[in-house]
Structure 1
Amino acid sequence: MLLTPTQSSFFALIILSFGSFAALFTVRWPRLSEYLWQKEAHNALGIPFEAEIPESISTGRSRCESCHHTLSWKDLIPILSYGLLQGRCRYCQMRISPHYVLIESTCLCICLPLLITCHDLIELSLNSLLMCSLLTAAIIDYQHKLIPDECCLIALAAALLLNIHSGTLENAVLGMIVGYSAVYLLRWGYLKIRNIEAIGLGDVKLLATLGAWLGVLHLTTLLLYASLIGILYILLYREKNKEPIPFGPFLFLSGIIHYYYLNL
């Protein structure tokens, strides 16, 4: 897809805005989810629950985590504001976590090659939305071992629309069904035999989304890549403990790698 330098720069700004929203989502969604779980547990036990509800993704202005000062637009320019402020809050001078700028940069890195692989604006927009949604899910899974349904639904809708646009909807639907069924049955069998939940339902939904995106014929390759990346992660970084390993990030990396392998 041929774009002018101005159009390419505008696309990069949009992706950075997606990344900024994704970074905010990875912070606020887990907090709100934890609050709702605690509230539900207290209500079930008949115990008063007076904790203050955290801000959701759709309400409340962005604030400094240290001084809670409301941030203005000049404090929220993706990447640029962090660099100009040297990673510190303008108001209290406390160090700002690089969490936001890293996610913004990652969104830009995984989406910029789409300018080469995509053939029109619809394909470019849907692939960008899908990749940013998958990245958000992978980060939350890595940090909290949870995969938000919101991310999977957005990515799945984008994947199906992409295949409608390209005339391959049947392949996408089949990939979604086979991807979901295969891993769900594996999860169910392991649970019955070993009484251990080896695979979370979030991973099942994520693979169904990847199947809808790339098609049924690529599911085996996706699982192979994800497994190899997981093994490499264990060999290089895994400490010797029994905490479960989130599989979502490996599925995400597998999907991105295989997409660009097929299209570049």
Structure 2
Amino acid sequence: MDLTVLMWTLYCVMVLCIGSFSAAYTTRWPIKQDYLWTKEAHHLLSIPFTTSSPLMFNRRRSHCIHCEQPLTYKDLIPIFSFIALKGKCRYCKQRISSRYLVIEITHLLCCLPLLWLFDDVYSLTLITLLMSALITATVIDMEHKLIPDECNTVALGCGLLLNISANNLHNSVLGMMAGFVLLYTLRWLYTLCRDKEGIGLGDAKLLAALGSWLGLSHLPTLLFCASICGILYTVFSKTSSQDYIAFGPFLTISALLVFYLTL
């Protein structure tokens, strides 16, 4: 792919903007879900619920979580604003979480190699959005043991569209179906035998999305790598057998490895 400096710059800016949105989403989505679940629980128990709804992206500008001051464009430039402000709010001087910087850099590192692999804007855009959805889901799963349906839907849709353009839809659909059925069956068997949930439904949906992207033929390798990563993490982190471990990050990491190493 014959790249110009302008193309490089535009793509990097786009990826960083997507990464900035992803970082904000990983913060706001759990707050919104907690509100909705609490509201539903009060409704089921017929208990009055007066807490006001948290405002989401389309209702409120980005703001400092400490002083509530709305942020200007100078405060929101990915990576550069964080460095220029030395990791502190311009207004109240409280520290800004480094999660924003880490998520933005992660987007850049994961997506930059795509410029060498795809020579059309259609595929490049879809795979960039897919990777962003996976990174977003991974961060939320690591912190809250939850995988948003929104992230799985974006990844699934992009996976199907990529394979449609490559005339490989049958392999994509089979991968999607096999991925979901496999983990859902394991989840059902574990619940039946142990009388408790061992695999989240979000993991089954995530594997369906990854199957739609990578296809049926890569599912065994993907699951093997994810299982090995999970085992190594459990051993070296000395995690208790009673602790829940987020499996989504291992699925995502394995999917990225399979994708880049098998092209």
Relative to the length of structure 1, the TM-score reads 0.97
What is the identity percentage for the equivalent residue pairs of Structure 1 and Structure 2? 49
Give structure 1 stretches of 5+ with no counterpart: none
Q: Distance in 1 between matches of 2:78 and 2:141?
A: 23
Q: Distance in 2 between matches of 1:20 and 1:107?
A: 9
Q: Distance in 2 between matches of 1:238 and 1:124?
A: 40
Q: Where does residue 249 of structure 1 map in the other structure?
A: 249
How far is 1:116 from its partner?
A: 1.3
Check conservation: 1:16, 1:108, Cα contact below 8 A: yes
SS in 2 for 1:93: coil
Deviates more, 1:197-206 or 1:187-196: 187-196
Check conservation: 1:29, 1:57, Cα contact below 8 A: no
How far is 1:241 from its partner?
A: 5.9
Q: Where does residue 91 of structure 2 map in the other structure?
A: 91
1:85-136, Cα deviation, whole Å (9 max, x unpaired):
0000000111111011110110110000101111311111100000000110
Check conservation: 1:142, 1:246, Cα contact below 8 A: yes
Structure 1: 4+ residue segments shifted above 6 A: none
Q: Distance in 2 between matches of 1:161 and 1:201?
A: 24
Q: Distance in 1 between matches of 2:162 and 2:93?
A: 45
Give structure 2 stretches of 5+ with no counterpart: none
Q: Where does residue 64 of structure 2 map in the other structure?
A: 64
Q: Distance in 2 between matches of 1:111 and 1:237?
A: 29
Q: Where does residue 109 of structure 1 map in the other structure?
A: 109
Q: Which amino acid in structure 2 is aligned with residue 13 of structure 1?
A: V
Q: Distance in 2 between matches of 1:241 and 1:79?
A: 38
Q: Which amino acid in structure 1 is aligned with residue 30 of structure 2?
A: P
Map 1:1-264; keep pairs closer than 5 Å: 1-240=1-240, 242-263=242-263
Q: Distance in 2 between matches of 1:220 and 1:235?
A: 23
Q: Distance in 1 between matches of 2:101 and 2:216?
A: 35
Relative to the length of structure 2, the TM-score reads 0.97
SS in 1 for 2:259: helix
Q: Distance in 1 between matches of 2:146 and 2:240?
A: 22
SS in 2 for 1:243: coil
How far is 1:58 from its partner?
A: 2.6
Deviates more, 1:239-248 or 1:23-32: 239-248
Q: Which amino acid in structure 1 is aligned with residue 166 of structure 2?
A: S
